[in-house]
Structure 1
Amino acid sequence: MATGRGWAPRQLLRCPGLGPPAGVTGLRKGPGVRPTSDLLKLYARHRECCRRVALDCALSLDGMPSEILLKIFAYLDAVNLLCVGCVNRRFYHLASDNFIWVRIYSTAFSPKRSNWKVNSVEKTAVSVNLLSLEDKEAGYWKKEYIAKQIASVKATVARLLKPVNPYTGLPVKIKEALRVSGLGWVIILRDKSGKEYITEHVRLSVNDTSVSVVWYGKNWPHLATLSTLDLCGVTPVFMDRYKSPTKTGDVHRPRWRSLIARYSLSDLTETTLMGCDGLIQVFCLSPGLLVGLWKRDEELAFVMTNLHLHQLMERSTLGSATTPYELPPHSPFLDDAPEYGLHGYQLHVDLHSGDISYLCGTFRNLFSKKEYIENGYVKLVVISFDNNTQHVPLIGKVGLSWRTNIFEGCIKRYCVDYVDSEGRVHLDLVWIEETKEYFVVNLALYLSVAKINHWFGTEY
């Protein structure tokens, strides 16, 4: 055989009941000659034969006796049994067999034993369950397992969300709650013909008050063909109580989808431009979605969002695929002296870009008088430009950090203006050359009068 860089035979794709073509053991990169067209055609025919044999195997599985199929299904876990039940009506009934599911149920929810001995009470309970299988309708223990498993996860998540930060009033064990629930986020890009492109989140970081989520990739659809973008929370239909999920979750398992917000991409470049550098330009879509476009050809580079922790689990799990979760009705909190305006309040600031934190602190004793109302907003001065003692230094290189699968960068900013339906934030920075650091010299919070009246039951 010729030597040098090229191709040489090696074992081909194996398929049950079908070996490699006669005279060919496969293709591999290494010392040898380039494959001829005849060899490539032979390889293609072999792959087609393998595909047909695999299809015949799948069809012949349905022709097996029910007793054999039940033996096979008994080796599957709960998730795979549910998937098998989606093949056809016969598989659905077989995969709902009570004898299979009572074993799964007892394994998952039986109390842990501290020794090898099983007391008579437990033995009796197991035997009663087995004797009562014939009295239960088909699929009874499957439903019982799913209901109890979901209830178990919900109870664990609720327990984790109880402890709150005294400064923010937000959950402090959000990371553990995300891990237990398997919660993740996807964006669904929909083109003008209705075709959907689902993208899993690539990066996720948990901050004091929010979760930062980023999506990027190589194969974005063309921006000109897109109409809408859906931001959704996704959770597994149910989690395994005793197995920790992966960081991004198992995307191949059945999952619930909860719509958080829907955005229009038809006029993206006409929305608010947040900043740009030599490679990208970043646009803001309300509420709180940043979309990065390559400057050269105006195509998607990345999508980024900050999800506030306030009722994040509810908003990400309790909605449907088409309708967001609605917050419960608010009962007005009556201010003790509304004629004096807002007073005695505190603001917690968590200034970050992704997992890079610049400032995290609490400002107390904030107030606003009625005469501070202007253009439908009540102004709360957090840091005054005229009071040097209030100016706060920031940590690190301040800017909007972004990343894709190819490049990363940071867009410098010296002024921040954010506006939505509930209020506005204005922040000014200055660079001190002597100390090589940024300072916040002005920070003002503008609250919507309509929001204040709704929250406090007042009439400003």
Structure 2
Amino acid sequence: MAAGRGEFFQSLLEGLQRQPAQRVPETGQPIRGRGKPRPGGRFPGQGRGFSGQRRKERQRKVATRSSGGETEASPRAGPTKEGSHRKSSPCKLNLLESLPSEILVKILSYLDPSSLFCLSHVSRLLHQLSNDDVLWQRIYTSEFGSRNWRLKTSEKWMEAEDCWTSRWKRLYFKSMAGQEMNKWRKPLKDVSPYTGLPRQTEWALRSLNVSWELTLCERLGQEHTLEQSQAHFFESSVIVHWSDGIHMKFHHISTIQLHGVRKDPRSSIQTRKPNWRSLILKLDAGSPSLVIGKDRLIKVLLLQPGVIVGVWRGKNQVAFIMISLHFHKLVEKSLLGSPACPYSEPVELPPVDDADPDLGLHGYSLHFVLHNTGTEIMSGHFQQLFCHKAQIQRGLVELKVIQRSDLSQHRSLSGSIRLPWRHEDMKGAVENCCIMSLTLLDEFQKPFWCVSTPIHITMAKKAWCCDYSGHDFQMLYRTADGEVKMLLVWLEEQKQFFLTGLTVCIPVAKVNKRFSREY
């Protein structure tokens, strides 16, 4: 049975590929004989008289057409038998279009939704068939169960715009997107009153299998994509480290791009699909950099905001790159952005309170952490921070967190301030450098200023603390979004630093925009 079916299909294929028989131009009858045409284009039995007669016939047709008459061979009389036979040649037919639509829909029903979506962009026929409403209703029912369909007003408008799009197809992708976002949005609603950030940020990033990729663009146009080597999570930030596969000199890099990537752990290496990339940061490497530390092997450069580049001393070749990311909206930035455009955070204005004349100048809370890639150096939570109108100077609202005159507020820093680094099998540490993670909440306990960035210690220009016998140091951070100033004293006997002053300054323009004021 199988052999007979194979012979049938083989003969059918030969019939489809067979050329149409040659016919006599005058009568349209097929030419008898098995001989092949000769080099002159004549078959056996064709002489010069035949070609001469055909030339006379052509001249007669031209003369008749010029006189206004029409013959059977005229183009106005429609295509001849030979022309119609050539247009309907089986070798030029699309066999897919010759199949009934019921059979094609049955074939498409064996595909998964992603393959069916990709197939809809092949041709008009497949686009129409792959949007079959019954087909997508079965897919939706198998995934989410039965549902009584009710067409909404917005869906009627969408149906009028695109009549080829299945309503069940739109509902399927809408439900899939909503179900996927609810997996991580519900846990993020649990906000810690201590930090003002979601408690489950680290859990959400790990459960969604989110990682971060670094793209280094050379000045000649080449791009190098690096996968993260390590990630160090803390209470309000994460430090991402890249140290493998970097073979570039720092002055050859033009731009640095950071993307959040969600990988599918169920896919194998053979069937792995391209991952969605969400742009978080795009930085010009040619911008001014600051040397914040060095050891005998490397020097550390700081590129705002929060980008650390370790360069081998004497070679100017990149050894590692570290980026500190704050937890505020980090899940949304890593998932909801596009490969070319970062996630845009919606503006949430606080409720207007005209009864409070000092709205935006009091009731602040600060969560402040100093740490490195392995340990926490100092952590504190400060409430009821304020600034009077008379204290506004240089266009800044100063919030004094730790005052030098109040010894009870001074805090000791545990351990030494150092920033460990690693490159393949080599490791080291840069002294007097660490990471500062700052979360400033307004009086409605909403994040007002969030930053996580490297910071380094410098010698103070003048001594200001008379209560301690030691050397005075300071740590400064200054951008357009705000300023942070820390005063420290190094106690030689205890071999540790004491934090004797902490001041956070925010621009008045930022306060006026947030609270609709005119300070």
Same fold (TM over 0.5): yes
CA distance in 2, matches of 1:421, 1:409: 33
Contact 2:249 2:316 in 1 (8 A): no
CA distance in 1, matches of 2:219, 2:245: 21
2:437 is the counterpart of 1:437? no
Where in structure 2 are the equivalents of 1:174-185 lying within 5 Å?
Answer: 174-185=201-212
Among residues 218, 224, 228, which one is paired with 1:201 in the alignment?
228
Paired position in structure 2 for 1:389 = 408
CA distance in 1, matches of 2:501, 2:142: 60
Residues 224 and 272 of structure 1: is their aligned pair in 2 closer, same or farther, counting only changes over 3 Å?
closer
Paired position in structure 1 for 2:70 = none
Paired position in structure 2 for 1:233 = 260
- Post-superposition shift, 1:159? 0.6
Contact 1:153 1:181 in 2 (8 A): no
- Post-superposition shift, 1:428? 2.9
Superposition TM-score, scaled by structure 2 size:
0.59
CA distance in 2, matches of 1:453, 1:403: 44
CA distance in 2, matches of 1:430, 1:166: 31
Paired position in structure 2 for 1:346 = 365
2:231 is the counterpart of 1:211? no
CA distance in 2, matches of 1:101, 1:380: 58
Q: Deviations over 1:30-70 (max 9, x none)?
A: xxxxxxxxxxxxxxxxxxxxxxxxxxxxxxxxxxxxx9xx9
Residues 338 and 298 of structure 1: is their aligned pair in 2 closer, same or farther, counting only changes over 3 Å?
farther
- In structure 2, give the amino acid aligned to 1:360: S
Among residues 184, 190, 197, which one is paired with 1:157 in the alignment?
184
- Post-superposition shift, 1:362? 0.4
RMSD: 4.2
- Post-superposition shift, 1:325? 2.0
Paired position in structure 2 for 1:320 = 338
Paired position in structure 2 for 1:298 = 316
Paired position in structure 2 for 1:187 = 214
Paired position in structure 1 for 2:507 = 448
Where in structure 2 are the equivalents of 1:23-422 lying within 5 Å?
Answer: 109=144, 147-236=174-263, 252-267=272-287, 270-331=288-349, 334=353, 337-339=356-358, 342-413=361-432, 414=457, 415-422=474-481
Q: Deviations over 1:83-122 (max 9, x none)?
A: 9979998xx99xx799999998777656xxxxxxxxxxx9
Contact 1:354 1:401 in 2 (8 A): yes
Paired position in structure 2 for 1:114 = none
- In structure 2, give the amino acid aligned to 1:452: V
- In structure 2, give the amino acid aligned to 1:228: T
Task: Provide structure 1 residue ranges, at least 5 long, that are not aligned to the other structure.
Answer: 1-66, 111-121, 126-136
- Post-superposition shift, 1:145? 5.9
Q: Deviations over 1:179-222 (max 9, x none)?
A: 34332211111112322211112211222222221222133333
Paired position in structure 1 for 2:486 = 427
CA distance in 2, matches of 1:384, 1:170: 26
CA distance in 2, matches of 1:427, 1:319: 35
- Post-superposition shift, 1:319? 2.1
Paired position in structure 1 for 2:466 = none
CA distance in 1, matches of 2:398, 2:373: 28
Residues 84 and 168 of structure 1: is their aligned pair in 2 closer, same or farther, counting only changes over 3 Å?
same
Segment drifting more, 165-174 vs 222-231: 222-231
Paired position in structure 1 for 2:83 = none
Residues 251 and 328 of structure 1: is their aligned pair in 2 closer, same or farther, counting only changes over 3 Å?
farther
CA distance in 1, matches of 2:209, 2:169: 21
CA distance in 2, matches of 1:108, 1:180: 22
- Post-superposition shift, 1:392? 0.9
Secondary structure at the aligned position of 1:342 is classed as: coil
CA distance in 2, matches of 1:343, 1:316: 33
Q: Deviations over 1:158-186 (max 9, x none)?
A: 11111010122211011221134332211
Percent sequence identity is 34
Secondary structure at the aligned position of 1:281 is classed as: strand
- Post-superposition shift, 1:417? 1.4
- Post-superposition shift, 1:152? 1.7
Paired position in structure 2 for 1:458 = 517
Secondary structure at the aligned position of 1:320 is classed as: coil
Larger Rg: 2
CA distance in 2, matches of 1:372, 1:251: 63
Residues 387 and 235 of structure 1: is their aligned pair in 2 closer, same or farther, counting only changes over 3 Å?
same
Residues 340 and 330 of structure 1: is their aligned pair in 2 closer, same or farther, counting only changes over 3 Å?
closer
Contact 1:302 1:403 in 2 (8 A): yes
Secondary structure at the aligned position of 2:363 is classed as: strand
- In structure 1, give the amino acid aligned to 2:218: D
Paired position in structure 2 for 1:3 = none
CA distance in 2, matches of 1:388, 1:250: 63
Paired position in structure 1 for 2:441 = none
- Post-superposition shift, 1:142? 8.1
CA distance in 1, matches of 2:300, 2:336: 31
CA distance in 2, matches of 1:104, 1:216: 45
Residues 182 and 393 of structure 1: is their aligned pair in 2 closer, same or farther, counting only changes over 3 Å?
same
Superposition TM-score, scaled by structure 1 size:
0.66
CA distance in 1, matches of 2:183, 2:168: 22
Secondary structure at the aligned position of 2:189 is classed as: coil
- In structure 2, give the amino acid aligned to 1:350: V
Residues 331 and 365 of structure 1: is their aligned pair in 2 closer, same or farther, counting only changes over 3 Å?
closer
Contact 1:349 1:361 in 2 (8 A): yes
Segment drifting more, 97-106 vs 435-444: 97-106
CA distance in 2, matches of 1:104, 1:221: 49
CA distance in 1, matches of 2:487, 2:375: 19
